[in-house]
Every structure is written in structure tokens, then in C-alpha cells.
Amino acid sequence: MLKTIKQNLLKSAKMLRFFDLSSKSRWRQNKLLILAYHGISLEDEHRWDSSLYMPPDLLRRRFELIKQHDCPVLPLNEAVERLYSQTLPKKAVVITFDDGNYDFYQRAFPIIKEFGFPATLYLTTFYSGYHKPIFNVAAKYLLWKAQSKTLDCRTLLGRGEQINLATEVERQKAYDLLFAHALENKFSAEQKNDLLEEMCGNLQIDYAEFCAKRLMQLMNAAEVSKIAAAGVDVQLHTHRHRVPLEERLFRREIEDNRRAITAAADYRATHFCYPSGEHDARFFPWMEAEGVVSATTCETALSTSQTNRFLLPRLVDTCSLSEVEFEGWLTGISHFLPQRKTS
């Protein structure tokens, strides 16, 4: 309902040339739109989770719209400096990607090069040297792929029943059992992958073939070096994709992450993105001590010079965001409309 009202308002605004007026206004001049992307599908991942993945064609279309609206795309570091010195050009945009999956290298990177846009990649590094799928996402995706099948939990986990994977509720139940099993047994990353392999055996899925496609895997160090050498700005996203509430552990996440990035990209990363958008004011002095310059969230808004530099909002762009809504953000008019909550 809210979405329909908003779409209609935006369509009327476009017809009335408010997009034009809004984008030319001084108001939009002093504000920064930071875009956030996650996965760009290698295959059909967006059909499984359209909030996490989008097809490459949609990313290309978004970039075309940025060009059509004459939005200057700035490197993150420059944009942050100019946000606070109030010297941003009109309609300034920053493009960011999270995590550093192999699909970034294979799908997003060629489109970034094609348009010549600066882009920041917030990279999580623990799995970077691991060459195996990330358990949580891969398990959920593979259960979705196996929706015509039945998972035999008794054989796989030594407890539970046969779960028919036809519905979302049943797939979630199967995932919860797998996750609990890994947690109770304190499985390492490697043991979790063994469990994933056994799950594939149980569901007659070719695990080796799945691994070879590199879906839900991070880029390796050589690939990170290659994108960094080509100008992608690789920045901090914690080593293990988590934000501990203890200073020593939090700072270790940044230090380990930074060390791995420096090894591949040869500079000291100073911009941070909260994994899963989990931010907390307790982190601010710890980031300060680590020399972190800015931190981005997944809250939807434009940044102004009044925005806390450790709470820079981002528009998480997904398949469910319509073209007119996206244009509304580029021109700034969406800022005045009611917002849906993003996770």
C-alpha cells in the first residue's frame, strides 16, 4: 500500500518535472547519496533472494540512470571530505558493494569498468583465502534449489525427520536444524563445509560442481589485488563479518581485516561498513582509535554535513526498488517521502 502511494507520488512528481527541480536545487547540492549493493547474480541467485542479489542487467540499468541524470559519481574518500567541507557537486553519488563475493569480480567489476565509475568494495577477509562457499548463505540457497526434494535429517544429523523442502517454512526449518547442529558441535569453517557437502549428498546435488562455480564464495587475494590495481577502492568490513561488543575483539576485527586488505591492495584502509548494518555508539571511540575515517550503515537517507561520520546512511538498492523510486533518490525527492524500513 505504502509502496503504491509512493510510486504514484513519484510518477506525478516526474511528470511535473519535480525531479528536475529537485535535482537542480541547492538542497540536493549539499547532500550525498551513497548506494549499497550486495550480490550480482552469477546464475539465478536473485530468484532465491531478491533482497541480497540482483541480475547484472539491472545493475547496468541503474548505472545508465545515474548517467542520464548527470549525477557525478565520486570516490568515497573524496565524497566524505567534500560532504563535511560542504563542497559537494550537485547530485553527488557514491557507489559501494559489500562483502567481496566472487560474483563482484565476475559480474559487477566489468560493469564498473564499462561505465568508468569509481566504486568502493567493503571486503570481509576471513573466507577470502578459503575457496569454499560461505556456509549460511550457501546452505539456504541449496535448500531452495532442492525444493522438489526431501532432506533426511536422521541420516544427516542423527536426529529429526524427513523434511519436504517444497515450502519456505519447511526450508527454514531444515536450515535451522543444520545451523543448530553446527553451533552445538562448535564446527569450524571447514567442518561446516563438510556438513554442506553431506547435505548435498543427501539431496543428490553435485557439491564439487557447485564449488567450481564459486557461487557464495569470496574473491581470492589475487582477484582482490587485480581489482584494487584497476582502481576499485577496497575498504573495511571486519575480518570475520561480525562486530564484537568488546573493544579488544572489535579492534582485532579491524586490524585483521586491514592487514589482509593491505597485503592485497597495498594501502591502509580507513573507511568502514558495519557488517549486516549492525551499528552501536560504543564502537565510535574504538574506530577512532583505529584511525577509521567514516562508517556506513544500511539506514535509508541522504547524508548531510550534519550526519555523524560513523553513521553515514546508504540506499540499499535491490530488485524490489522500482526505477522511479531509484530516480527519486538520485534527484533527492524520495528523501521527503515516507520510508520503508530496510534490514
Contact positions vs Zn ion (CB under 5 A): 98-99, 275
- Joined together, the cell numbers standing for residue 94 give 557514491
Provide the residue type at 291 as one letter: G
For residue 98, the minimal CB distance to Zn ion (Å) is 4
For residue 4, the minimal CB distance to Zn ion (Å) is 31
| Residue number with CB closer to Zn ion (98 or 327) | 98
| C-alpha 343: how far from chain center | 11
For residue 156, the minimal CB distance to Zn ion (Å) is 28
Provide the residue type at 144 as one letter: W
Question: Of the candidates 33, 18, 78, 95, which has an alpha carbon nearest to the alpha carbon of residue 304?
Answer: 33
How do 53-54 and 39-40 pair as beta strands?
Answer: parallel
d(CA 222, CA 105): 11
| Residue number with CB closer to Zn ion (31 or 132) | 132
For residue 237, the minimal CB distance to Zn ion (Å) is 6
For residue 241, the minimal CB distance to Zn ion (Å) is 6
d(CA 225, CA 262): 10
| Residue number with CB closer to Zn ion (31 or 241) | 241
Q: Is 101 helix (H, G, I), strand (E, B) or coil?
A: strand
| Residue number with CB closer to Zn ion (30 or 101) | 101
| Residue number with CB closer to Zn ion (45 or 99) | 99
Long-range contact set of residues 308-316: C-beta below 8 Å, sequence gap at least 24: 309/80, 309/84, 310/279, 310/283, 310/284, 311/279, 312/32, 312/34, 312/80, 313/34, 314/34, 314/35, 314/36, 314/96, 315/33, 315/34, 315/35, 315/36, 316/36, 316/38, 316/342
For residue 273, the minimal CB distance to Zn ion (Å) is 7
The residue sitting closest to Zn ion, measured at its beta carbon, is 98
| Residue number with CB closer to Zn ion (45 or 98) | 98
